[in-house]
Structure 1
């Protein structure tokens, strides 16, 4: 299993938020003649139909320059960084005894199979009664 560190995942999340905040309200792109740009998309769910979409301007990455400047400043004047890493979620729960868990699993599914069989038998019997009644136009509970 591949696992990423908490700090690495948090930093990726912050980068994604910075990118989204900078590019969320991009203006619509314009052609050389000054008209708004559009594109036509043919999604499968339209079954041959189309959708007209606005073409946005390219993404900007100005936040990267600010991050690099902040990094250079941190290298010049290092400060202690408080890295509070929460404990893993699995540490909050107690592990069940394996034998008890297996027995509970087996008993639960064994009961379910029996109930399903009984319900299936009753449903089929009721369907036969309905079929016979539709043929004779009257219900008999035999």
Structure 2
């Protein structure tokens, strides 16, 4: 039994030394390392949260710039369409003017030709009247009289 007592004494002494060495020497270092890791993890999580927030802001800014660019492009397209429509309208007006001018010229030519044809027709009708009158009655009618008669007949009709 005496050996048990001395073994027990040395066991208590050994555990005490181990407690002092580990508990007082190593444990604070381990706790410091754990706290440092926890701080580092929380800092990394905070940095990731801030990076995520910044990424969200950049995405929102990108979307805003994209919407602005889209609206600007639409404005440019609308302006180009408007300009093209105005150019087409101007070309159409110019073409209408040219067509109207040619139509006027054609109407003048037609009227001149109609007048010339009517004069020629009156001359032919006057000659025919002279010839028919001469054959039917045996007397002659002057060209002026025949022309006057034809003119009167044409205006009555």
Higher Rg: 2
Which has the larger share of strand? 1
Please report the TM-score for the alignment, with normalisation by the length of structure 1: 0.29
- Could you say which structure has the greater relative contact order, defined with CA pairs below 8 angstroms and 6 or more residues apart? 1
